[in-house]
């Protein structure tokens, strides 16, 4: 007999770390022998396996030469159910116009979003920009106003960073009075993470010579919405960049081709796509998308403007609504955690609706302002359960419950909802979004 397999595990002996079957993260890993072996398997296969496997067949694909090569690869045809959605177009009168489409978080694993599944949000369609004719203008309070071509920018030293982008409106339905029916994708899918490669904004600003009076800059897109947002100069000099590449290839049109702004951790909308103008100014310009939109309407009608970083949040993607659990047994709970203020240091998971929590394993690498994958084994007894994940970042900030967030802000802010999500597990293995 070689090593024990997952089905050999004596579930009764696992060390429990919190109520309703949450298994201690160390105990499970040690007993399984190899963390990769266990954690790499799918949701259903972690359940206790049936008594006897079917006889093994030599399949046709093993006896027939396979297909040839293609210039740009596509996912397996058997994965064609994995896609972005739903397409939100407010009205048939404006077929493109403002809209969005969400990443299928519950079907992905790891921390990186494939380029074809990165969420999209645009305010008047995706422009078809000819790269040779695109220009980036830097002007306003600078000594040397100047224009860059894509070719010129491509000659600059490149920097890379892995960073999430999250729409400020993501998870917004959790401000509502009743729990919206939905999945990780439809409730939280205005969220993605990529490796962005491009030019440091501080470097370009230094070349332009920033006037000491400048404290903000206006970033403008070349799309038909001329999306404009004011960015604090301090942020621009700290960690902002102008990505030309996304996960190794040129930006996708829907993500700003040929160049965009990246302000790590800040409201998605500030990462202006199709970037063509940066104007250094003394104060914020007070554009429509930083006054009428992307501001938070609080209780008593007060409005919080320029809340930029997206605070720490965790979402369980597996299991989650749409993925049915197949009978009592051992499962892996896994999900994503992130903070616009820094690094995730802990994710606590609960299976009893927040009465007790156990800390999850954080998959390396754990990076500042990037998605972090967390995992924790769970021995489901087949009874009702309510799953939660709660993120803690390196500023000490602890993700709030929905009750606490709504008590502080009311039901109307629309943006920056980072409340803890509850997934209720029913005895038939189905999951549903509920309020505690």
Partner 1 sequence: MFTRNALGAALLVLVAGQVIAAETPHLGTPVTPADIAAWDTSISPDGTGLPPGKGSAAQGKEIYALKCTGCHGVAGEGKPADRLTGGQGSLATDAPIKTVGSYWPYATTLFDYVRRAMPLNEPMSLTNDEVYAVSAYVLSLNGLIGEKTELNAKTLPKIKMPNHDSFFIVYPGNLK
82-121 residues near ligand HEC, rule: CB under 6 A: 90, 93-94, 97-98
Q: Which does 26 bind (CB under 5 to 8 A by kind): partner 1, ligand HEC, none?
A: none
* Residue of 62, 64, 77, 292 interacting with ligand HEC (CB under 6 A): 292
Count Cβ atoms within 10 A of the Cβ of residue 87 and give its class: 0-12 exposed, 13-18 middle, 19 or more buried. exposed
Per-residue burial over 371-396, b = 16 or more CB atoms within 10 Å of its CB, e = otherwise: bbbbbbbbbbeeeebbbbbbbbbeee
Quick one: which of 291, 27, 242 has its CA closest to 138?
242
Regarding 1 and contact with ligand HEC (CB under 6 A), the answer is no
Build a one-symbol-per-residue string for 224-253: x at contacts with ligand HEC by CB under 6 A, - elsewhere. -x----------------------------
Regarding 58 and contact with ligand HEC (CB under 6 A), the answer is no
DSSP characters for 226-278?
A: --EEEEEHHHHHHT-EEEEEETTEEPPGGGTTT---B-TTB-GGGS-TTEEEE
Count Cβ atoms within 10 A of the Cβ of residue 364 and give its class: 0-12 exposed, 13-18 middle, 19 or more buried. exposed
Q: How far is the CB of 276 from partner 1 (least distance, A)?
A: 8
Q: How far is the CB of 348 from partner 1 (least distance, A)?
A: 19
Regarding 411 and contact with partner 1 (CB under 8 A), the answer is yes
Neighbour count for residue 248 (Cβ, 10 Å): 10
Regarding 148 and contact with partner 1 (CB under 8 A), the answer is yes
Regarding 204 and contact with partner 1 (CB under 8 A), the answer is yes
Q: Which does 434 bind (CB under 5 to 8 A by kind): partner 1, ligand HEC, none?
A: none
Q: Residue 256 or residue 321: which is nearer to ligand HEC going by CB? A: 256
Q: Give, as ranges, the residues between 89 and 108 that touch partner 1 (CB under 8 A).
A: 90-91, 93-94, 97
Q: Give, as ranges, the residues between 231 and 270 that touch partner 1 (CB under 8 A).
A: 232, 234, 237-238
**CA 49 – CA 313 distance, rounded (Å):** 34
**CA 308 – CA 421 distance, rounded (Å):** 22
Q: Give, as ranges, the residues between 279 and 298 that touch partner 1 (CB under 8 A).
A: 279, 281, 283, 285-288, 291-292, 295-297
Q: How far is the CB of 366 from partner 1 (least distance, A)?
A: 22
Q: Residue 64 or residue 91: which is nearer to ligand HEC going by CB? A: 91
DSSP conformation class of 108: -
Q: How far is the CB of 191 from partner 1 (least distance, A)?
A: 19
Q: Residue 147 or residue 426: which is nearer to partner 1 going by CB? A: 147
Q: Give, as ranges, the residues between 184 and 203 that touch partner 1 (CB under 8 A).
A: 200, 202-203
Q: Give, as ranges, the residues between 315 and 374 that touch partner 1 (CB under 8 A).
A: 341
Q: How far is the CB of 288 from ligand HEC (least distance, A)?
A: 5
Residue 243 near residue 251 (C-beta atoms within 8 A): yes
DSSP conformation class of 141: S
Total residues interacting with ligand HEC, rule: CB under 6 A: 10
Q: Which does 220 bind (CB under 5 to 8 A by kind): ligand HEC, partner 1, none?
A: partner 1
Quick one: which of 217, 412, 177, 379 has its CA closest to 300?
412
Edge-to-edge strands, sheet with 385-393? 358-359, 344-350, 385-393, 422-425, 431-434
Q: Which does 408 bind (CB under 5 to 8 A by kind): ligand HEC, partner 1, none?
A: partner 1
Neighbour count for residue 3 (Cβ, 10 Å): 9
SS3 358: strand
Q: What is the CA radius of gyration of the chain?
A: 24
Q: Residue 98 or residue 359: which is nearer to ligand HEC going by CB? A: 98
The most distant pair of C-alpha atoms in the chain lies apart, rounded to whole Å, by: 76
20-28, 69-77, 299-307, 384-392 -> range binding partner 1 (CB under 8 A): 299-307
For residue 33, give both structure tokens: 């022998």
Q: How far is the CB of 395 from ligand HEC (least distance, A)?
A: 32
Q: How far is the CB of 291 from partner 1 (least distance, A)?
A: 5
For 84, 163, 196, 223, 433, the CA distances from 245, given in Å and listed in that order, are: 21, 13, 6, 19, 36
Total residues interacting with partner 1, rule: CB under 8 A: 73
Q: Which does 297 bind (CB under 5 to 8 A by kind): partner 1, ligand HEC, none?
A: partner 1
* Residue of 7, 49, 115, 124 interacting with partner 1 (CB under 8 A): 124
SS3 185: helix
Residues at the interface with ligand HEC (CB under 6 A):
90, 93-94, 97-98, 123, 225, 288, 292-293
């Amino acid at each position: 007999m070689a090593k024990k397999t997952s089905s050999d595990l004596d579930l009764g002996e696992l060390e429990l770390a919190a109520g309703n079957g949450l298994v201690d993260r160390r105990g499970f890993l040690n007993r399984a022998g190899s963390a990769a072996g266990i954690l790499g398997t799918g949701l259903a296969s972690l359940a206790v396996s049936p008594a006897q496997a079917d006889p093994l067949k030599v399949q046709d694909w093993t006896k027939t030469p396979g297909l040839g090569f293609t210039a740009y690869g596509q996912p397996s045809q058997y994965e064609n159910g994995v896609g972005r959605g739903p397409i939100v177009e407010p009205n048939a009168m404006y077929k493109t116009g403002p809209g969005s489409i969400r990443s299928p978080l519950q079907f992905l694993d790891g921390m990186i979003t494939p380029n074809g599944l990165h969420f999209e949000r645009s305010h008047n369609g995706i422009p078809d920009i000819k790269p040779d004719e695109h220009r980036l203008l830097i002007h306003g309070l600078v000594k040397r106003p100047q224009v860059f071509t894509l070719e010129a920018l491509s000659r600059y030293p490149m920097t890379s960073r892995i960073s999430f982008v999250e729409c400020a409106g993501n998870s917004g339905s959790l401000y509502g009075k009743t729990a919206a029916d939905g999945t990780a994708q439809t409730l939280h899918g205005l969220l993605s993470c990529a490796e962005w490669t491009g030019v440091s904004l501080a470097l370009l600003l230094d070349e332009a010579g920033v006037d000491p009076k400048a404290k903000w800059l206006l970033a403008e897109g070349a799309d038909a919405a001329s999306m404009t947002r004011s960015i604090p100069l301090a942020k621009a000099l700290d960690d902002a960049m102008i990505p030309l590449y996304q996960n190794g290839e040129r930006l996708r049109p829907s993500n700003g081709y040929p160049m965009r702004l990246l302000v790590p951790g800040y409201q998605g909308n500030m990462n202006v796509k199709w970037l063509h103008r940066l104007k250094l100014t003394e104060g914020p310009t007070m554009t429509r998308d930083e006054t009428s939109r992307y501001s938070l309407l609080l209780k008593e009608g007060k409005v919080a403007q320029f809340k930029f970083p997206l605070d720490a949040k965790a979402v369980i993607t597996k299991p989650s609504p749409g993925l049915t659990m197949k009978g009592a047994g051992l499962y892996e709970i896994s999900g994503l955690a992130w903070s616009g203020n820094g690094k995730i240091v802990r994710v606590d998971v609960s299976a009893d609706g927040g009465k007790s929590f156990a800390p999850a394993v954080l998959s390396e690498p754990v990076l500042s302002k990037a998605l972090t994958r967390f995992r924790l084994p769970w021995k489901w007894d087949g009874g009702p359960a309510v799953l939660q994940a709660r993120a803690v970042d390196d500023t000490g900030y602890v993700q709030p419950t929905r009750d606490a967030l709504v008590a502080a802000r009311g039901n109307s802010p629309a943006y920056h909802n980072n409340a803890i999500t509850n997934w209720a597990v029913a005895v038939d293995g189905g999951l549903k979004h509920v309020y505690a």
